[in-house]
A and B are shown apart, each in its own frame.
Chain A
């Protein structure tokens, strides 16, 4: 692999597991992408963040096998950077900043929000989405019981009546569902904690 290798070949090599291919791609396009971002946001630290997020998005997409640009890597890369810049401006417009003029006492440093912050909420949402996906992997009878018990908060008596089985069968299905969920979590090395 040399500096003349095309982007398309490098992308293919990277998808096949060659980490060096990504390094060549990053080094080849870093200046162009970074300058493009900086020209829009005019802030060094912010440009670094958006640059980093751009390549993280590229890595995720390539690793998940959902990339289908067929030889047009650079326009795709620039489009990701462009979309992230737009996302940044949308967010900053939605969140006006308040700054106290009084350096001694700042009311905003005294205020506390005991609820989840945005990061924690994102993590909780992600865990919840992962659990739902895991539940979807279960056999139909077990999936039904888990949904009714955990997501609809139904009692085992109600579940038994709704699924036309005895309470003991519903309890058994729940037990097997939990055993299977634990197995899936261990098999795929998934961490489901805040």
Chain B
């Protein structure tokens, strides 16, 4: 497909994820706890 050089490609350098998404990730990290037993790893989520 030919490139259209008259149109600049969209620059996307200033976009940021929402603060609530960041908060969710950080809270998820605090809530998750991994239990190691002899043969498996079990994920436990604290509320």
* B29: A residues at CB distance < 8 A: 19, 22, 59
Which of A23-31, A88-96, A102-110 interfaces with chain B? A23-31
Give chain A's interface residue range (CB within 8 Å of chain B). 20 to 34
Q: Do A38 and B28 have beta carbons less than 8 Å apart? A: no
Q: Do B39 and A136 have beta carbons less than 8 Å apart? A: yes
Report the bound CA distance from A47 to B42 in whole Å: 29
Q: Which of A1-53 contact B (CB under 8 A)?
A: 19, 22-23, 26-27, 30-31, 34-35, 38-39, 47-48, 51-52
Q: Which of B1-47 contact A (CB under 8 A)?
A: 10, 12-18, 21-22, 24-26, 28-30, 32-35, 37-44
Q: Do B39 and A190 have beta carbons less than 8 Å apart? A: no
Q: Do B28 and A59 have beta carbons less than 8 Å apart? A: yes
Report the bound CA distance from A34 to B14 in whole Å: 10
Question: Which single member of B10, B17, B21, B25 contacts A59 (CB below 8 Å)?
Answer: B25
The residue of chain B having its C-beta at the shortest distance from the C-beta of A52 within the complex is B21
Interface SS of chain A: helix, strand, loop or mixed?
helix
Report the bound CA distance from A136 to B29 in whole Å: 29
Q: Do B15 and A31 have beta carbons less than 8 Å apart? A: yes
- Closest-CB distance, B30 to chain A (whole angstroms): 6
- Closest-CB distance, A166 to chain B (whole angstroms): 30
Q: Do B42 and A190 have beta carbons less than 8 Å apart? A: yes
Question: Is the CB of A156 closer than 8 A to any CB of chain B?
Answer: no
- Closest-CB distance, B6 to chain A (whole angstroms): 20
Q: Do B26 and A19 have beta carbons less than 8 Å apart? A: yes
Contacts A64-B41, A188-B37 hold; do A34 and B16 have CB atoms under 8 A apart?
Answer: yes
The residue of chain B having its C-beta at the shortest distance from the C-beta of A49 within the complex is B21
A to B CB contacts below 8 Å, 9 in the list: A19-B30, A30-B16, A34-B16, A56-B25, A59-B25, A60-B32, A133-B39, A136-B39, A137-B37
Given contacts A31-B13, A35-B13, A137-B38, 4 further A-B contacts (CB under 8 A): A38-B15, A52-B17, A59-B32, A133-B42
